[in-house]
Structure 1
């Protein structure tokens, strides 16, 4: 019934927990497709040992090509009526796929979404969507797609929906008929692009209010470490998203959320440049921050932004961005990153 696709790259310490959570699924009619994407650690050996213990596990060993290509290989090999995705350092509740399949079947939907649990060193935090029940085609753009792109505003309490395929169960026929694949050119947001395209092509989405997927947050995650060429790659993915929405005739309807997404990309990029693990000299960091702030598209979006109801800390960041205060922003994010790191250790 369900093909669960797991792209594996240097994840040996986590694989046993991940795959164990899949082989113990209460839904027995599953296949587990492990794609070893040219790992340089012991991942292949662990995958081989796991495959020997359960004939529902299929192993694909291939040269490194990135997570998108690995997931595409998994989709091409899949035989299940539905497709699910799990990252190799995460794990799921034992009843996840049985419950999601039941929710999807009763609703006669193309896609089922569930909530997830954020797993950090500090503890466990369920992350729940405001959306519930069945989302019909005429509400998918406003209730789901818009909130996957970005939250509606910077007002306190506003939330978005994490655009991850790992929280989905999708009719494989939908992906095949609509020719939906992961973009190998995109290093960030490849999940979000597939989610948005699948949602736009879906006639009905069912929301299961269970928090079944356990997402492990690493010290190397985007918010916790410096990423080289982060801004350029995020902007590249944004352009792909923009092109997708233009192709589907939805770009104008979602223009405000695209603006929000672009500002969020800039905010993350500024914090990334100021991160303590960025090896570049301070002068270069400030120069890179200044270059981000001079982006004409960003400047235009910021002029349209109403700051009257924005919470104080975010209002400070956005005001400094509007003023192109690169030195002040560098100092602000340097201090913020240090405080966050100290709180994390404490």
Structure 2
């Protein structure tokens, strides 16, 4: 029977962790390797991980100094033994049959990646839903795509556009990561990685089901206005993507907005953490864009 490796970065979420991990251990798909990567937590997260491991021998703990979500996911990938890999952010949780449904779609469609939709919970506990399963237009999206078809869906105003970038809520064949890893020093590591995995796949399946809960806490990374200048990596990765898309016949025009946005983000504010060179380069690019876009 196929096995799924579930990789969960853990950083200072001790009070939430048990609920979220148990949403994984209680999945209807049972053959799991659950990898908890303690990313230098300073609260009781490691103790909670250890207690959970005592309760379920499918759990493995990796513990190291704080280096960020990209590092944590890469650390999980190095010990993943499953046929498939999925990622869960440490403060999110899964509906009981999500992994079973994703695995079924991979097998039925002979795909390398299966993507499900999500619903969201805000810090006040309010839920937000984004799909309507009875909608005929949305039902037409519920199929397998070639990588080029899927890449074009990023620009279409459909439900797929909402799930295009995230690494979570998806099931990947593990071999897709043989030559791909998450950026080690950048925010937005999902956006810099998923497109590479899509192009490496033979087929990508979309599942019209909202069975992953994206839970946003007051102090979560998605809420933070982080001015990290290591995000210069985003500019270089965006440039690489534009060049590759153009080479294989995909129009990269839709990236023209994202790329300048990253440049502006870095060229404003004060450079820090030895990023003066990146700040200067971003400032130059910003000036050139302003000169020729008017």
What TM-score range do you get, normalising by the shorter chain?
0.7 to 0.9
Residue of structure 2 equivalent to 1:33: 35
Are 1:9 and 1:36, in contact at CA under 8 Å, matched by a contact in 2?
Answer: yes
Structure 2: where are the runs of 5+ without partners?
Answer: 133-137, 270-278
Using the alignment, how far apart are the partners of 1:233 and 1:206 within structure 2? 33
Using the alignment, how far apart are the partners of 1:223 and 1:77 within structure 2? 27
Residue 82 (structure 1) shift? 0.1
Are 2:113 and 2:170, in contact at CA under 8 Å, matched by a contact in 1?
Answer: yes
Query: Are positions 1:296 and 2:293 aligned together?
Result: no
Structure 1: where are the runs of 5+ without partners?
Answer: 274-287, 304-346
Could you say which structure has the higher helix fraction?
1
Using the alignment, how far apart are the partners of 1:18 and 1:182 within structure 2? 23
Query: Are positions 1:241 and 2:251 aligned together?
Result: no
1:189-218 deviations in Å (ceiling 9; x for gaps): 211122010001111000111111111123
Residue of structure 1 equivalent to 2:144: 134
Any idea what SS the aligned residue of 1:165 has?
A: coil
Alignment of 1:1-346 (within 5 A): 1-120=3-122, 121=124, 123-128=126-131, 131-143=141-153, 147=154, 151=155, 160-176=162-178, 179-185=179-185, 187-221=186-220, 224-229=223-228, 232-247=229-244, 250=247, 253-265=250-262, 269=265, 295-299=286-290, 302-303=293-294
Any idea what SS the aligned residue of 1:193 has?
A: coil
Any idea what SS the aligned residue of 1:191 has?
A: coil
Any idea what SS the aligned residue of 1:16 has?
A: helix
Are 2:260 and 2:286, in contact at CA under 8 Å, matched by a contact in 1?
Answer: no
User: Structure 1 residues 9 and 223, CA, compared in 2 at 3 Å: closer, same or farther?
Assistant: closer
Which is bigger in relative contact order (C-alpha 8 A, separation at least 6)?
A: 2
CA RMSD of aligned residues (A): 3.1
Are 1:33 and 1:60, in contact at CA under 8 Å, matched by a contact in 2?
Answer: yes
Using the alignment, how far apart are the partners of 1:158 and 1:198 within structure 2? 16
Using the alignment, how far apart are the partners of 1:109 and 1:142 within structure 2? 18
Are 2:5 and 2:33, in contact at CA under 8 Å, matched by a contact in 1?
Answer: yes
Using the alignment, how far apart are the partners of 2:128 and 2:283 within structure 1? 33
Using the alignment, how far apart are the partners of 1:28 and 1:159 within structure 2? 30
How many correspondences in the alignment? Answer: 272
Residue 72 (structure 1) shift? 0.8
TM value normalised by structure 2 = 0.81
User: Structure 1 residues 243 and 300, CA, compared in 2 at 3 Å: closer, same or farther?
Assistant: farther
Any idea what SS the aligned residue of 1:117 has?
A: strand
Are 1:112 and 1:169, in contact at CA under 8 Å, matched by a contact in 2?
Answer: yes
User: Structure 1 residues 159 and 85, CA, compared in 2 at 3 Å: closer, same or farther?
Assistant: closer
Residue 222 (structure 1) shift? 6.4
Larger radius of gyration: 1
Are 2:111 and 2:203, in contact at CA under 8 Å, matched by a contact in 1?
Answer: yes
Using the alignment, how far apart are the partners of 2:8 and 2:149 within structure 1? 31
Are 2:148 and 2:199, in contact at CA under 8 Å, matched by a contact in 1?
Answer: no
Residue 76 (structure 1) shift? 0.9
Residue 238 (structure 1) shift? 2.7
Q: Which moved more, 1:67-76 or 1:107-116?
A: 67-76
